[in-house]
A and B are shown apart, each in its own frame.
Chain A
Amino acid sequence: MSNRYADRSHVVKLIFIVVGVLFVGRLAMLQLFSSKYRDLAKQQSLRPVTQYPARGFIYDRHGELLVHNEAVYDLMVIPRMVKGLDTNYFCESLGITRDDFDERMRKARKYSTYSASIFMKQISKEEYARFENKMYRFTGFYISQRTLRIYDRPIAAQVLGYVGEVDKADIERDSYYTQGDYIGKSGLEKSYEEILRGVKGKKIMQVDVHNRQVGPYQGGAYDTLPEEGMNLYTTLDADLQQYAEELMGNKRGCVVALEPSTGELLAMVSAPCYDPNLLVGRIRGENYKKLNSDLAKPMLNRALMGQYPPGSIFKVAQSMVALDLGVISPQSGFVCDKSLVGCHNHPSARSVQEAIKMSCNPYFYQVYRRVIQQGKYKSIYKDSQYGLTVWREYMLRFGFGQKLDIDLPKSGMSTGNIPDTAYYNRWYGKERWAFSTIYSNSIGQGEVTVVPIQMANLAAIVANRGYYITPHMVRFYGPDSLRNEEYYTRHETGIDHKYFDIAAAGMYDVVHVAGGTGRRARVDGLDVCGKTGTAENYGNDHSVFIAFAPKDDPKIALAVYVENAQGGGGTWAAPIAGLLIERYLNGEVKRKDVEKMYKEINPCQKLPLTRRVKKKK
């Protein structure tokens, strides 16, 4: 019997071998042909801990610290690691409700159950100290240290910008970012993001199933140290900025002040202002909503994003173009004929200098007509087309009608409008418009609009007698004092500087000679040159003033724009410009009463103006 079934031993051996082969094949499937398990293994036993670099500081032109960092703590969670949590005790320690806890956990799980996400953001040092020693009881949670921006003075909010969490688009655009990272959202924080942010470091920690850190992975061989962000050394003058913001209190509008010889921006104010510290930390969300829905649009940087009719300040540029074209001479005189265009009462101007001083509208009507209709063509339509093209070329060289290459975010920045022939052809049809159609441009009304920074730049061009350097905010950055080379090139208007001497003389007269429109800008002992503007629009007129000082070797050029002021450029913008110049050049303002008046006064009581938003304590 024993050997009758001996062959069956082969069946048994075959079963053994088949199972062995099956196992080896399955092992190959798991170990050789699938990276899924390898990745999962890394994910769960190695925890990459991001080392956030300190964001670069921001200084003003005198080395005063404007922005620095303070440590806060993010409570991180890896949902699948959370085990045996005493939820009530945990909520109590953190001071949150059970519902809040569930909601936060739900969000974290939705993101990923395997990787870490932020459970609670920006816990202050004090709060952290309260539950630090309880952390060991909260398996699956750990602390990640972050820094918050602290703005040392409550100034220049729109210029400095703010830092916020990255959104989806940021992550897609730049692989450097991961969810929960911070990024500059506006202002310098945005435009210098890559310089300020530094380089993240990474520590790879080995953790066990209880989320205890067992030690650095491979002795830290794969760890990288974070590289600190570089500091920004800006051109801002913190004192002047603060003073300008105070003067713009209760008003809407903006101030741009710069150093003409270098293009360095000294102050840039957009009123109403707000405290940049409002957009920091956990109060950010709430305040952001409030600021964003404010009708006065405090988050808007009017100096770059607003475009306004320039009003009479445009006459300075008009006269330079006309003189360079030779269609008028410095001694050209035109009768103040109010039938052409309205004007205030003043004697007729006998020269360009006088015309600027008195800001005579009919005079510039004539000037602009000679620029537009130069008589090159018989048809006034063709002639106007030619004239407009030539004129536009000049205006572009003044920096109008385009975004200046300033080192603040380009998005949202306005170009202003210097209409071209296509623009009018679209409106009126080809060769169906002439000077008579577009004459409002002569006095800075009509289709022409400019951006406040371009106005200040115009003042700088006159101050420099014919060229400008692109206005900018940052002198240099980092430990090696790196510079932006493009801010060392002159942009020439191509107009002879002798004509700019005439403009400067006219602007001097505006402030200093009887009959000048901007006499309230006068500062004892200083040669202030300025030009008023009163821009008509749907509401009350805007009050504009551009100025530079001193007349020879100017140190400051600026533009002040007050929206919907009841009164012209001479009434509101000029005195504010005068105070700013006095403060910057003399270091202090002697006319305390004037200063006080303009700080407090509201030029348009009827409009609902937002007060400066106070930081919530």
Chain B
Amino acid sequence: MYQERLKIDWWTVAIWAILTVFGVLNIYSATYSGDLSSLFSLKSFGGKQLLWLAIATVAAILVLFAEPRFFSNGAYPIYAVVLLLLVATLFLAVTVNGGKSWIEIGGFRFQPSEFAKFATALALSKYMSAIDVEWKQMRTKLVALAIMGIPAGLVLLQHDAGSALVFAAFVLPLFREGLSGAILVVGLVAVVLFVLALLVNKYILIGALVLIALFYLFVWLNKRTAKNWWRTIGLLLLCSAFIFSVDILYKQLDDHQRERIEVLLGKNDDLQGSGYNVHQSKIAIGSGGFFGKGYLKGTITKADFVPEQHTDFIFCTVGEEWGWLGSSLLVALYVWLLVRLINMAERQRSTFSRFYGYSVASILFMHLFVNVGMVLGLVPVIGIPLPFFSYGGSSLLAFTILLFVFIRLDATKNQLY
């Protein structure tokens, strides 16, 4: 067997380095209280995150030196171990911020759910790369759904709806492998209808849908065959049923989740209660202006107005201190990374690597979309971290491993696993 030389994609490593270092700096600023305690002091959040970054870097180097076969052959065992950990978490968890997703081992806390995404990505890639797997078979679909669904369900049982939601990200790699594009459209329509059903009178909404259907049949399509009639009526009935079930679905949510949705839709303007975080976060970002207030000079940041600012709301600090310029550049950097990952995935020879690359990009994208969307008041408040950026050792380590495994796979992309 010929040994391929390692060709590490240094651009991706560089983006990772910039994001993590910039993250540490912003965590330091978000929790900076005016006295110049050293960034390297382990008492500050910045210092702690720096230590985690060092650990993550070591992990990244270990991953780069690992044999790629280890990941492809080890995919199922790793998946199994993580599932066990998730189950164990249900019994051993310590409660942090209302969630039960942390376990403590000898004073060392970590969140197995952060590693569940990585493990699921490996397992799903492994399964999809099997020679006898055909997407058209119903069995394939069900197995894939189970591989995603089991960890997602376990995470949901830990009261961590945000992390569970992230598993929906696997729709994108599956889409690439042949999943019907209709699912993306259906998902989008469902979200739009859900929001509209909460905002607008349901009968008016259905009336509008009927008008759209008629327009579609008579004007746009202008082919009133029986097949088209039945299709349109069927879709209409389906949409109507969904609209009427929104209330039932909505009642299934927790109070705080409903409140967060109401805040987003402007139906609840309790700026003291459930709307407080997002309102403060918008103030912090909005006050940044074009150039921002400058590093360590954010007044809202300094004054602790935004809760969780060093974790889930870290993007506020960027918005306030680095302004539109800095935060737009950060968004651009993420988008660059994501697009680059897709391009890298497409140059893989093995399905395993390609699927895994898509998984990495999609998971990162889901986090970016939900986290930044929440901070900007576009998405309801869902507490998931900004990859490589938010304070938190487990998440930094997990994301780093997730990314570097792909960098390692890409480094010997011509090999087949």
How far is A36 from B282 in the complex, measured between Cα atoms in Å? 10
Q: Which residues of the partner chain A approach B287 to less than 8 Å between Cβ atoms?
A: 37-38, 40-42
Nearest residue (CB) in B for A211 is B303
Nearest residue (CB) in A for B173 is A12
How far is A40 from B175 in the complex, measured between Cα atoms in Å? 44
Q: Which residues of the partner chain B approach A23 to less than 8 Å between Cβ atoms?
A: 331, 372-373, 376
Nearest residue (CB) in A for B135 is A1
What is the minimal beta-carbon distance from A216 to any residue of chain B, in angstroms? Answer: 12
Q: Which residues of the partner chain A approach B175 to less than 8 Å between Cβ atoms?
A: 5, 8, 11-12
Q: In chain A between 9 and 50, which residues have their CB closer than 8 angstroms to a CB of chain B?
A: 9, 11-13, 15-17, 19-20, 22-24, 26-28, 30-32, 34, 36-38, 40-42, 44-46
Cβ 8 A contact of A206, one of B283, B288, B302, B369? B302
Does B358 have its Cβ within 8 Å of any Cβ on chain A? yes
Cβ 8 A contact of B178, one of A4, A11, A37? A4
Q: In chain B between 263 and 300, which residues have their CB closer than 8 angstroms to a CB of chain A?
A: 272, 282-290, 299-300
Does B408 have its Cβ within 8 Å of any Cβ on chain A? no
How far is A444 from B365 in the complex, measured between Cα atoms in Å? 98
Q: In chain B between 99 and 151, which residues have their CB closer than 8 angstroms to a CB of chain A?
A: 135
Cβ 8 A contact of B302, one of A38, A44, A214? A214
Q: Which residues of the partner chain B approach A37 to less than 8 Å between Cβ atoms?
A: 282-283, 285-287
- Asked if A32 and B369 sit within 8 Å, CB to CB, the answer is no
Does B228 have its Cβ within 8 Å of any Cβ on chain A? no
Does A215 have its Cβ within 8 Å of any Cβ on chain B? yes
* Contact flags A303-326 to B (C-beta < 8 A → 1, else 0): 000000000000000000000000
How far is A272 from B265 in the complex, measured between Cα atoms in Å? 66
How far is A474 from B354 in the complex, measured between Cα atoms in Å? 93
* Contact flags B360-396 to A (C-beta < 8 A → 1, else 0): 0110010011001100111000000000000000000
How far is A20 from B331 in the complex, measured between Cα atoms in Å? 6
- Asked if B172 and A40 sit within 8 Å, CB to CB, the answer is no
- Asked if B34 and A30 sit within 8 Å, CB to CB, the answer is no
Q: Which residues of the partner chain B approach A210 to less than 8 Å between Cβ atoms?
A: 304
- Asked if A46 and B299 sit within 8 Å, CB to CB, the answer is yes
Q: Which residues of the partner chain B approach A45 to less than 8 Å between Cβ atoms?
A: 299-300, 302-303, 305
Nearest residue (CB) in B for A39 is B287
* Contact flags B337-377 to A (C-beta < 8 A → 1, else 0): 01100110110000100100010011001001100110011
- Asked if B302 and A12 sit within 8 Å, CB to CB, the answer is no
Q: Which applies to chain B's interface (DSSP): helix, strand, loop or mixed?
A: helix
How far is A612 from B214 in the complex, measured between Cα atoms in Å? 89
Nearest residue (CB) in A for B34 is A214
- Asked if B286 and A31 sit within 8 Å, CB to CB, the answer is yes
How far is A16 from B367 in the complex, measured between Cα atoms in Å? 12
- Asked if A8 and B176 sit within 8 Å, CB to CB, the answer is yes
Q: Which residues of the partner chain A approach B184 to less than 8 Å between Cβ atoms?
A: 11
Stretch from B10-18, B56-64, B231-239, B322-330 contacting the other chain: B322-330
Does A2 have its Cβ within 8 Å of any Cβ on chain B? yes
Q: Which residues of the partner chain B approach A214 to less than 8 Å between Cβ atoms?
A: 34, 302-303
What is the minimal beta-carbon distance from A21 to any residue of chain B, in angstroms? Answer: 9
Does A148 have its Cβ within 8 Å of any Cβ on chain B? no
Q: Which of B176, B285, B287, B304 has the most CB of A within 10 A?
A: B287
What is the minimal beta-carbon distance from B301 to any residue of chain A, in angstroms? Answer: 9
Q: Which residues of the partner chain B approach A206 to less than 8 Å between Cβ atoms?
A: 299, 302-303
Cβ 8 A contact of B324, one of A28, A207, A215? A28
What is the minimal beta-carbon distance from B48 to any residue of chain A, in angstroms? Answer: 22
- Asked if A16 and B284 sit within 8 Å, CB to CB, the answer is no
Q: Which residues of the partner chain B approach A207 to less than 8 Å between Cβ atoms?
A: 303
Q: Which residues of the partner chain B approach A11 to less than 8 Å between Cβ atoms?
A: 175, 181, 184
Does B334 have its Cβ within 8 Å of any Cβ on chain A? yes
Nearest residue (CB) in B for A34 is B286
Nearest residue (CB) in B for A14 is B339
Given A23-B331, A27-B376, A36-B286, are A2 and B351 also a contact pair (CB < 8 Å)?
yes
Does A208 have its Cβ within 8 Å of any Cβ on chain B? yes
Q: How many residues of B sit at the interface, in one of the four size bands?
A: 35 or more
Q: Which residues of the partner chain A approach B168 to less than 8 Å between Cβ atoms?
A: none
Q: Which residues of the partner chain B approach A343 to less than 8 Å between Cβ atoms?
A: none
How far is A214 from B35 in the complex, measured between Cα atoms in Å? 11
Given A6-B346, A38-B287, A41-B283, are A27 and B319 also a contact pair (CB < 8 Å)?
yes
What is the minimal beta-carbon distance from B15 to any residue of chain A, in angstroms? Answer: 14
Nearest residue (CB) in B for A35 is B286
Cβ 8 A contact of A13, one of B289, B323, B342, B378? B342
- Asked if A31 and B288 sit within 8 Å, CB to CB, the answer is yes
Q: Which residues of the partner chain A approach B284 to less than 8 Å between Cβ atoms?
A: 41
Q: Which residues of the partner chain A approach B288 to less than 8 Å between Cβ atoms?
A: 31
Does B335 have its Cβ within 8 Å of any Cβ on chain A? yes
Q: Which residues of the partner chain A approach B361 to less than 8 Å between Cβ atoms?
A: 12, 16
Q: Which residues of the partner chain B approach A34 to less than 8 Å between Cβ atoms?
A: 286
Does B332 have its Cβ within 8 Å of any Cβ on chain A? yes
Q: Which of B34, B178, B285, B303 has the most CB of A within 10 A?
A: B303
Q: Which residues of the partner chain A approach B378 to less than 8 Å between Cβ atoms?
A: 22, 26
Number of A-B contacts (CB under 8 A): 134
Cβ 8 A contact of A31, one of B300, B302, B304, B319? B319
Q: Which residues of the partner chain B approach A31 to less than 8 Å between Cβ atoms?
A: 285-286, 288-290, 319, 323-324, 327
- Asked if B376 and A26 sit within 8 Å, CB to CB, the answer is yes
Cβ 8 A contact of B286, one of A24, A38, A208, A217? A38
- Asked if B342 and A9 sit within 8 Å, CB to CB, the answer is yes
Q: Which residues of the partner chain A approach B172 to less than 8 Å between Cβ atoms?
A: 12, 15
Does A410 have its Cβ within 8 Å of any Cβ on chain B? no
Q: In chain B between 394 and 410, which residues have their CB closer than 8 angstroms to a CB of chain A?
A: none
Q: Which residues of the partner chain B approach A6 to less than 8 Å between Cβ atoms?
A: 346
What is the minimal beta-carbon distance from B174 to any residue of chain A, in angstroms? Answer: 10
Cβ 8 A contact of A40, one of B181, B283, B303, B345? B283
- Asked if A19 and B365 sit within 8 Å, CB to CB, the answer is yes
- Asked if B302 and A16 sit within 8 Å, CB to CB, the answer is no
- Asked if B304 and A209 sit within 8 Å, CB to CB, the answer is yes
How far is A45 from B361 in the complex, measured between Cα atoms in Å? 38
Does B308 have its Cβ within 8 Å of any Cβ on chain A? no
Q: Which residues of the partner chain A approach B319 to less than 8 Å between Cβ atoms?
A: 27, 30-31
What is the minimal beta-carbon distance from A379 to any residue of chain B, in angstroms? Answer: 81
Nearest residue (CB) in A for B346 is A9
How far is A31 from B283 in the complex, measured between Cα atoms in Å? 9
Q: Which residues of the partner chain A approach B177 to less than 8 Å between Cβ atoms?
A: 1, 5
- Asked if B332 and A24 sit within 8 Å, CB to CB, the answer is yes
Q: In chain A between 103 and 160, which residues have their CB closer than 8 angstroms to a CB of chain B?
A: none
Does A80 have its Cβ within 8 Å of any Cβ on chain B? yes
What is the minimal beta-carbon distance from A605 to any residue of chain B, in angstroms? Answer: 66
Cβ 8 A contact of B328, one of A1, A17, A24, A217? A24
How far is A30 from B287 in the complex, measured between Cα atoms in Å? 8
What is the minimal beta-carbon distance from A5 to any residue of chain B, in angstroms? Answer: 6
* Contact flags A330-358 to B (C-beta < 8 A → 1, else 0): 00000000000000000000000000000
Cβ 8 A contact of B282, one of A8, A30, A42, A46? A30
- Asked if A16 and B283 sit within 8 Å, CB to CB, the answer is no
- Asked if A9 and B332 sit within 8 Å, CB to CB, the answer is no
Q: Which residues of the partner chain A approach B338 to less than 8 Å between Cβ atoms?
A: 13, 16
Cβ 8 A contact of A209, one of B289, B303, B335, B365? B303
- Asked if B302 and A17 sit within 8 Å, CB to CB, the answer is no
- A sample of 9 inter-chain contacts (CB < 8 A) reads A1-B135, A8-B175, A9-B342, A9-B343, A19-B368, A31-B285, A41-B286, A45-B300, A214-B303
- Supplied contacts A12-B361, A20-B331, A31-B288, 18 more A-B pairs, CB within 8 Å: A5-B176, A6-B346, A11-B184, A19-B365, A19-B369, A23-B331, A23-B372, A27-B376, A30-B285, A30-B286, A36-B286, A37-B285, A37-B286, A37-B287, A41-B286, A41-B300, A45-B299, A217-B299
Query: Which residues on A are within 8 Å of B, measured CB to CB?
Result: 1-2, 4-6, 8-9, 11-13, 15-17, 19-20, 22-24, 26-28, 30-32, 34, 36-38, 40-42, 44-46, 80, 206-210, 214-215, 217
Query: Which residues on B are within 8 Å of A, measured CB to CB?
Result: 34, 135, 172, 175-178, 181, 184, 272, 282-290, 299-300, 302-305, 319, 323-324, 327-328, 331-332, 334-335, 338-339, 342-343, 345-346, 351, 354, 358, 361-362, 365, 368-369, 372-373, 376-378
